[in-house]
Amino acid sequence: KAGVTQTPRYLIKTRGQQVTLSCSPISGHRSVSWYQQTPGQGLQFLFEYFSETQRNKGNFPGRFSGRQFSNSRSEMNVSTLELGDSALYLCASSLAGERDTQYFGPGTRLTVL
């Protein structure tokens, strides 16, 4: 079975721009979660989608948004980028989310200049 894939792997943007990251879960997995990893804050939960609905949300501003498609693929969008948004963005998929093992993708490294 193919693992979780994320595109693009690396991205450089400037302040004020917006960005869209994509995540394809493991086949059959219906839950996709997004995390932000920075040296200062560590790994922080952004949101979780299950069956095209946002089921959980972390403490991030409204500039961070996401969606999930009927094939379980997910995208996250960050608008009006700030320098502090530079991070590794990881997505994880699981069968149903609750109490299931989450499998992580390789991440998208976003640099905001």
Partner 1 sequence: SQQGEEDPQALSIQEGENATMNCSYKTSINNLQWYRQNSGRGLVHLILIRSNEREKHSGRLRVTLDTSKKSSSLLITASRAADTASYFCATEGANSKLTFGKGITLSVRP
Phi/psi of residue 30, nearest 5 degrees = -110, -10
State the CB neighbour count (10 A cutoff) for residue 41: 10
Residue (16 or 101) nearer to partner 1, CB: 101
Regarding 60 and contact with partner 1 (CB under 8 A), the answer is: no
**Per-residue b/e over 58-77, b at no fewer than 16 CB within 10 Å?**
eebeeebbbebeeebbbbbe
The residue among 42 and 80 lying less far from partner 1, judged by its C-beta, is 42
Taking CB under 8 A as the rule, does residue 11 contact partner 1? no
Binding stretches for partner 1 (CB under 8 A)? 4, 33, 35, 42-45, 48, 55-56, 58, 88, 90, 92, 97-99, 101-107, 109
